[in-house]
Amino acid sequence: MMIIMRMKGVVILAGAALYVVLVCSRINGERGCNVYEGEWVYDDDHHTYPLFNSTACPFIRKEFDCIKYGRSDHHYLHYRWQPNACDLPKFDGVKFMRKLKGKKIMFVGDSITLNQWQSLTCLLYTASYGSNVTHHANDLISTLTFQDYGISVTYFNSHYLVDIEMEEFGRVLKLDSLKSGEIWKGFDVLVFNTWLWWHRRGIKQPWDYIEDEGIVVEDMDRTVAFTKALMRWAKWVESDVDPYKTKVFFTGVSPAHYRGEEWNEPGVRDCSNQTRPMTGSSYPAGEPLASKILKDVLSSNTTSVHLLDITTLS
Ligand SMILES: *[C@@H]1O[C@H](CO)[C@@H](O)[C@H](O)[C@H]1NC(C)=O
Ligand SMILES: *[C@@H]1O[C@H](CO)[C@@H](O)[C@H](O)[C@H]1NC(C)=O
Ligand SMILES: *[C@@H]1O[C@H](CO)[C@@H](O)[C@H](O)[C@H]1NC(C)=O
Ligand SMILES: *[C@@H]1O[C@H](CO)[C@@H](O)[C@H](O)[C@H]1NC(C)=O
């Protein structure tokens, strides 16, 4: 629960990062500012923060509605990300929707991505107050459509990006299969992520076998499996996504927040008491291995994927 609250920061950031890249792309390149290097600062401008009121966002899932479920401090709603080398514009939902008029945006990934989707949709909902917003959902896909701008923002639930298929002997995680790609293809903006599920075991592991290069095994090195799946995904991006039509983003790796040693609080086993972001621009435990792997695959196997490099923001 608190992990989700902690990730709230990531969320707003992803919305803000998308905003910067899609709406204000000049800011990113012009001055060579790396917007991912910086720190969270408390902003006491009460007209601007919080950026949305979760109670007034009708489709927010209960696990993300911290205030409704009793979080008493509101400090965390007033942070803004301050890059070291430049300033970010304030998020402007109307500007976002004008710029992306008629576009279809899809988020594909695990709960971190769900969180981002949720946050962006609440930001846009707040900005489009009074206009016609429709919501369609099933187990796999959830779409908000902002009718006045013809913009849809979809969440596609996928823990691994590659497929899990039911065979007669059990559920198989197929490192070389990406059938859902057929559904993702038609979108104008795609935002992916995957990582935290690769190390799940026991009842939290939603598959029984792994298929790799046509061979079915009970298990394998999870980091290797993750790398192979990312390469498969990268191959799909290069062969099936038209870079002139679709902008592709990948949300970087968030540290897991289960081991206090990683943030200088040895013995702590979760982040239920963490209510303020860390200061500075680095994570004491250093960059997670998965983040390095992801950067390698993106740089050597893709040509136009933008990494939303949120590791030190989360
Ligand atoms: C948030 O929205 C709820 C429901 O619309 C409203 O009762 C509440 O006053 C709002 N809170 C703030 C801080 O605006
Ligand atoms: C909202 O948009 C949907 C789909 O375009 C339409 O069917 C519905 O009548 C609209 N509702 C309102 C209140 O305008
Ligand atoms: C959180 O902090 C309170 C007060 O310092 C302490 O009693 C509690 O054990 C802490 N909980 C965890 C999970 O660290
Ligand atoms: C990905 O990049 C690595 C390192 O450059 C290379 O060995 C591999 O063949 C590439 N894979 C694909 C599918 O392009």
Minimum mean pLDDT range among 20-34, 55-69, 115-129, 165-179? 20-34
In this structure, the residue with its CA closest to atom 7 of ligand 4 is 300
- At residue 312, the pLDDT reads 86
Predicted TM-score (pTM) of the model is 0.90
From residue 69, alpha-carbon distances to 54, 148, 281 in Å are: 11, 32, 31
Mean per-residue pLDDT over the chain, rounded: 88
Mean pLDDT of 24-45: 76
- At residue 241, the pLDDT reads 97
User: To test the ligand 3 pocket, which listed residue (263, 268, 273) has its Cβ within 8 A of the most ligand atoms?
Assistant: 273
- At residue 16, the pLDDT reads 60
Whether residue 48 has its Cβ less than 6 Å from ligand 2: no
- At residue 189, the pLDDT reads 96
Most confident stretch, 87-91, 126-130, 204-208: 204-208
- At residue 220, the pLDDT reads 97
- At residue 215, the pLDDT reads 97
Which contacts of 25-34 are long-range, i.e. CB under 8 A and separated by 24 or more positions?
A: 27/86, 27/88, 27/89, 31/85, 31/86, 32/85, 33/83, 33/85, 33/86, 34/83, 34/84, 34/85
The percent of residues in the chain predicted with pLDDT above 70, rounded, is: 90
Tens-digit pLDDT profile for residues 77-123: 999 999 999 998 888 999 999 999 999 999 999 998 998 999 999 99
Mean pLDDT of 212-221: 96
- At residue 9, the pLDDT reads 43
CA distance 119 to 4: 12
- Residues with Cβ within 8 Å of residue 86, at least 6 apart in sequence: 27, 31, 33, 35
Minimum mean pLDDT range among 1-5, 201-205, 251-255, 294-298? 1-5
Whether residue 68 has its Cβ less than 6 Å from ligand 1: no
Contact 171, 165 (CB under 8 A): yes
- Residues with Cβ within 8 Å of residue 14, at least 6 apart in sequence: 116, 119, 120, 191, 251, 308, 310
- At residue 313, the pLDDT reads 84
Whether residue 273 has its Cβ less than 6 Å from ligand 3: yes
Residue 28 scores a pLDDT above 90? no
143 versus 71: the higher-pLDDT residue is 143
Ligand closest to CA 49? 1
